């Protein structure tokens, strides 16, 4: 039988070379897009900061910006972005500061200005990976009246016990309303300063009245507003809303205040208030004002008298106070201030 030798097919060297080049090219493109480029972008934190700020990219601030070791929350990110975009001159300075810190990495990691760059050590391919730390800014507050309570955006941050003492606290950069409230000579006085907090700031409150224009002995609208602020700050609901629940069913109470944190016999406990029911309807509401006795005196002055009450000690400011204050808000229920175990409560029934 004749033998026939078959031809061996050989791959063309050119095709092999082109295939190898194509594979290397595709690999290089993938490497660049998914590895090298992101690493390079992380190194240019100043560019990312500027773009995120102008585009109001909340995600960037939640992921790359922190304050006191914690990432910014959604609310903090929105507040900080809103502040910088509202204050164009401060925004320009902030963008320039991050760019300057990135250009001079040594000084950029020092605790000066609004920011400090933190090298996470996770950079790749010779690039650095940065986070931006917002630096706390100090506020020093003095007052010429003892027992001055200091509030920042509706939250009490401390008290100046002695005249001309200094209360010091820190806040992240931003804009704040700093309010001082005190009682002097039976008069409640207050003053508010709006602060653009870009560096350490000192506030000196002169609350001692030169004339008797403050509210001496008359618990007028300004004091009514203080009680309204206190109730809403502690409960998350306006005084009018809480007052309207008296006489309402438990379904209405739950629909307004939400699910209670605890239920006892005829009592529902919330974080800062307790609702007592009678015959299936809200009979009384006890609100924890989160105030000590001296705080209450600084807020409203000394009561006309104190008397025993089933829940503790009643602070009586006189019927005219409640009539003038709560009638203004259209609230007709009976209200009493109760001191119990050193804390002050507002009883509505």
Ranges of each domain in the chain: 16-134, 137-205, 221-348
* Four-residue CA torsion sign, 165, 223, 244, 339: positive
Instruction: Identify the pLDDT of residue 111.
Output: 60
Q: What DSSP assignment string belongs to 34-100?
A: IIIHHHHHHH-HHHHHHHHHHTT-HHHHHHHEEETTEEPPHHHHHHHHHHHHHSHHHHHHHHHHHHH
Half-sphere exposure of 93 (CA within 13 A, CB side): 12
Instruction: Identify the pLDDT of residue 346.
Output: 85
Instruction: Identify the pLDDT of residue 218.
Output: 45
Report the C-alpha gap between 33 and 40 in whole angstroms: 11
Instruction: Identify the pLDDT of residue 108.
Output: 45
Which residues of the chain are under the pLDDT cut of 70? 1-12, 17, 21, 26-44, 105-111, 120-129, 185-187, 210-224, 318-333
Report the C-alpha gap between 256 and 93 in whole angstroms: 45
Instruction: Identify the pLDDT of residue 31.
Output: 53
Half-sphere exposure of 273 (CA within 13 A, CB side): 28
Instruction: Identify the pLDDT of residue 348.
Output: 84
Instruction: Identify the pLDDT of residue 225.
Output: 72
Q: What is the largest CA-CA distance in the chain?
A: 133
Residue 96: Cβ within 10 Å count: 12
Q: Are 282 and 245 in contact (CB under 8 A)?
A: yes
Instruction: Identify the pLDDT of residue 213.
Output: 43
What pTM did the predictor assign? 0.53
Candidates 3.20.20.140, 1.10.10.10, 2.40.50.100, 2.60.40.10; correct CATH number of 137-205?
A: 2.60.40.10
Instruction: Identify the pLDDT of residue 270.
Output: 87
Task: Tell me the sheet residues that pair with 344.
Answer: 291, 339
């Amino acid at each position: 039988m004749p033998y026939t030798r078959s031809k061996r097919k050989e791959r063309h060297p050119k095709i092999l070379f082109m295939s190898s080049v194509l594979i290397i090219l595709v690999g290089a493109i993938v490497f660049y897009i998914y590895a090298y480029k992101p690493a390079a972008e992380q190194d240019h934190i100043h560019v990312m900061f500027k773009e995120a700020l102008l585009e109001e990219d909340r995600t960037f601030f939640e992921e790359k910006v922190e304050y006191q070791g914690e990432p910014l929350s959604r609310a903090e990110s929105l507040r900080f972005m809103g502040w910088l975009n509202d204050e164009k001159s401060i925004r320009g300075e902030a963008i320039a500061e991050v760019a300057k810190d990135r250009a001079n990495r040594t000084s950029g990691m020092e605790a000066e200005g609004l920011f400090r760059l933190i090298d996470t050590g996770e950079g790749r391919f010779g690039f650095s990976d940065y986070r931006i730390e917002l630096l706390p800014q100090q506020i020093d507050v003095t007052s010429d009246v003892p027992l001055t309570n200091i509030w920042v955006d509706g939250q009490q941050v401390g008290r100046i016990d002695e005249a001309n003492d200094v209360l010091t606290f820190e806040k992240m950069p931003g804009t704040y309303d700093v309010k001082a409230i005190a009682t002097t000579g039976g008069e409640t006085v207050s003053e508010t300063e709006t602060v653009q907090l870009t560096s350490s700031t000192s506030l000196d409150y002169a609350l001692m009245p030169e004339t008797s224009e403050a509210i001496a002995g008359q618990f007028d609208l300004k004091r009514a507003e203080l009680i309204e602020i206190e109730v809403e700050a502690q409960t998350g609901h306006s005084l009018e809303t809480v007052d309207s629940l008296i006489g309402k069913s438990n379904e209405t109470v739950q629909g307004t205040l939400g699910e209670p944190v605890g239920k006892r016999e005829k009592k529902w406990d919330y974080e800062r208030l307790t609702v007592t029911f009678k015959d299936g309807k809200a009979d009384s509401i006890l609100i924890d004002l989160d105030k000590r006795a001296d705080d209450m005196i600084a807020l409203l002055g000394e009561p006309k008298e104190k008397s025993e009450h089933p829940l503790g000690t009643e602070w009586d400011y006189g019927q005219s106070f409640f009539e003038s204050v709560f009638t203004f808000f259209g609230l007709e229920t009976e209200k009493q201030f109760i001191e119990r175990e050193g804390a002050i409560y507002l009883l509505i029934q």
